[in-house]
Structure 1
Amino acid sequence: MFKIINLKRLKKDLNNYNKINIKIFKEIINNNHKKIIIIFGPCSLSNIKDFFFYIKKIKKMNFNLNFIIRVYYEKPRSNIGWKGFVYDPYLDNSYCIIDGIYMIRKLLIDLIKKKLFLATECLNFYFLNFFIDCISWVCIGARTMNSQLHREFCSNIKNIIGIKNDVSSDLKLLNDFKISLINKHCFLSFNNFKIIFSKGNKNYQFVLRGGNKPNYNFTNIKNINSSIVVDCSHSNSFKIPINQIFVFENVYNQFKYYKNKINGLMFETYEKFGCQSIINKFKFVSVTDSCLNFSLLNLILNKINAN
């Protein structure tokens, strides 16, 4: 994991803390307790100083909720564009990838020290090797969920895996990933030439993010027999950030009043509302997908906490 460049290792107490975090979330997922996991944060990491300001405000909130912070250092692309902080941390096409790895590693350790639970999306599993010990929840995106390499890799790690439906919103493909994930594999290691024999990973959630149309409706959800996270953004909100509130209202009522497998909600939120271009002129505004602002997130979390 640390052979390519010398990175600061996670101390034993913090490593054990992260393992305990994962165990707590596994208990909620596998036993389907009537508890809900809230996953939120900016669409993608773009400015560490601004992100820390956002985290300080999160830490001041007094909620008795199980929440995970999104630290998405890669940005999936259907064609071209900025691929995320780990590729281009200075947002200037300099592609200082080594700097990006160091900065993200330090950021994750600092967040673990603040007793936060962390989530990311695995696009390039080579990068994830540098950060996996700090991460509780790993999402496989809509564009990579059909990848056999990602299925093999995830079958060999201890983290919770969130499997997004693909961009067509065909929910049958979620089951294909699940079957591959929970079973054993033999494959070549991604960072050396060792043969890996994985044992399978039974800790997963289906992430419904919409596709050709929203897919958080009760008709879809009642037929799924695995733990579900509903992504209130992306195609479920038609990529209009204020619509995340309407998705939340619908899904949270399903969680409270119907017998189903909903265990989580995901939001794209940041300090300020909306988005901006990659030129990044404004502080605390997403440079990728539009986000809800902190005030609206606070309202949502207050409502969940009150019930």
Structure 2
Amino acid sequence: MFNLINLKRIKKDLNFIYINNIFLKNIILKKIKKFILIIGPCSISNIKDFIFYLKKIKNNFKNILLIIRIYYEKPRTNIGWKGFVYDPYIDESYSINDSIYIIRRLLLDISKFFYLGTECLNFFLINYFIDCISWICIGARTVQSQIHREFCSNLNCIVGIKNDIYGDFNVLKDSLLSIMNKQCFINFFEKTSFIYSKGNKYVQFVLRGGKEPNFSKKIITNQSLIIDCSHSNSLKISINQIYVFENILNQILLLKNINGVMFEHYIYNGNQDIKNKKFGLSITDSCLNFKFYFLFLKKINDLQCF
């Protein structure tokens, strides 16, 4: 379907990803003491800007594991730009052949240096990129999807499942049960086949807020937790991510199952209209800039509980 014959992973790189994934799994199993920091723009829209951003990212703290958000598609409540993979030139040309190739080439390059995380929205597309990914999220709009749950039960990487847009915690528990258990389902990627999954025990809950923020609620669970400082937890105001983060720092010492936090973070503060195309500004959700990134690192490191 797509000409990706020259973009295959070499064995050395596959081994590198495999080892990284084992290391990350041991963190959520509490065998290794590290705190997970997931950062990156709401969505990638310009590859040159994104590479500039990555060159600025540094992590000198041994107790922090960094995962870069690379969200190439965006869920929509109604209509709007659905992400780089569908419309890479932001001109409604929908050059998907180009975007698949560009994204895979990018992932092959940067996965040698970073742990990468993305959202599994279209589970057909993720098959083109899965060998570069260490952390996959099921979003608030797809967390109840049986097809997504089945697919994730067959993955060999960590899956973060977000609460739904209403903040229903029971949905998380249902998804967890489904993903962790064996499934039989039909796969249509490349050729139709039956998949018999063994289940995926490496699952995290991601609290992103619902009708109201839920980062400060006392969730009774032994499951690994990631707190999404953006979205409904920040009331979709990017600077509020700081206040969410400050609250979480106080909880970490009490709730040992908070393994990490997630931020929408980019080159410059704020966002812009999709037509403007200014350097370093998100064209979807508003983001925080680099000043806050270094603040995050220092404050997490100062906890000294990892």
Q: Which amino acid aligns with 2:216?
A: N
Q: Deviations over 1:38-87 (max 9, x none)?
A: 1000000100000000100004x433220100000001100000000000
Is residue 2:13 matched to residue 1:17?
no
Distance in 2 between residues matched to 1:293 and 1:70, nearest whole Å: 15
Give 1:235's aligned residue.
232
- Residue 34 of structure 1 and its aligned partner are, at CA, apart by 4.7
Is residue 2:293 matched to residue 1:294?
no
Distance in 2 between residues matched to 1:288 and 1:201, nearest whole Å: 31
Task: Decide whether aligned partners of structure 1 residues 32 and 80 sit closer, same or farther in structure 2, where only a CA change above 3 A counts.
Answer: farther
Let me know the Cα RMSD of the aligned residues. 1.3
Is residue 2:270 matched to residue 1:274?
yes
Give 1:83's aligned residue.
82
**How many positions carry a matched residue from both structures?**
300
Distance in 1 between residues matched to 2:124 and 2:223, nearest whole Å: 28
- Secondary structure at 1:118 match in 2: strand
Give 1:138's aligned residue.
136
- Residue 152 of structure 1 and its aligned partner are, at CA, apart by 0.7
Give 1:263's aligned residue.
259
8 Å CA contact 2:2–2:97 kept in 1: the answer is no
Unmatched tracts of structure 2, length 5 or more: none
Aligned ranges for residues 198-237 of structure 1 at < 5 Å?
Answer: 198-219=197-218, 221=219, 223-237=220-234
Q: Which amino acid aligns with 2:208?
A: R
Q: Percent identity?
A: 57
Distance in 2 between residues matched to 1:58 and 1:127, nearest whole Å: 27
- Secondary structure at 1:270 match in 2: coil
Aligned ranges for residues 154-233 of structure 1 at < 5 Å?
Answer: 154-191=152-189, 192-219=191-218, 221=219, 223-233=220-230
More helix by share: 1
- Residue 137 of structure 1 and its aligned partner are, at CA, apart by 0.1
8 Å CA contact 1:32–1:263 kept in 2: the answer is no
Q: Which amino acid aligns with 1:184?
A: K
Q: Deviations over 1:165-197 (max 9, x none)?
A: 000000011010011001111111121211111
8 Å CA contact 2:73–2:121 kept in 1: the answer is yes
Unmatched tracts of structure 1, length 5 or more: none
Decide which of 56, 60, 63 is 2:61's aligned counterpart.
Answer: 63
8 Å CA contact 2:4–2:101 kept in 1: the answer is no
Decide which of 120, 128, 146 is 2:126's aligned counterpart.
Answer: 128
Q: Deviations over 1:11-52 (max 9, x none)?
A: 111111111111111101023755311100000010000000
Structure 1 runs (4+) greater than 4 angstroms displaced: none
- Secondary structure at 1:26 match in 2: helix
Task: Decide whether aligned partners of structure 1 residues 163 and 32 sit closer, same or farther in structure 2, where only a CA change above 3 A counts.
Answer: farther
- Residue 238 of structure 1 and its aligned partner are, at CA, apart by 0.3
Distance in 1 between residues matched to 2:214 and 2:156, nearest whole Å: 28
Q: Give TM-score, length-normalised by structure 1.
A: 0.95
Q: Which amino acid aligns with 1:30?
A: L
Say which is worse superposed, 93-102 or 258-267, in terms of deviation: 258-267
Q: Which amino acid aligns with 1:231?
A: D
Q: Which amino acid aligns with 1:270?
A: Y
Task: Decide whether aligned partners of structure 1 residues 168 and 32 sit closer, same or farther in structure 2, where only a CA change above 3 A counts.
Answer: farther
- Secondary structure at 2:103 match in 1: helix
Q: Deviations over 1:104-138 (max 9, x none)?
A: 0011011023x210000000011100000000000
- Residue 295 of structure 1 and its aligned partner are, at CA, apart by 1.0
Q: Which amino acid aligns with 2:245?
A: F
Task: Decide whether aligned partners of structure 1 residues 259 and 209 sit closer, same or farther in structure 2, where only a CA change above 3 A counts.
Answer: closer
Give 2:146's aligned residue.
148
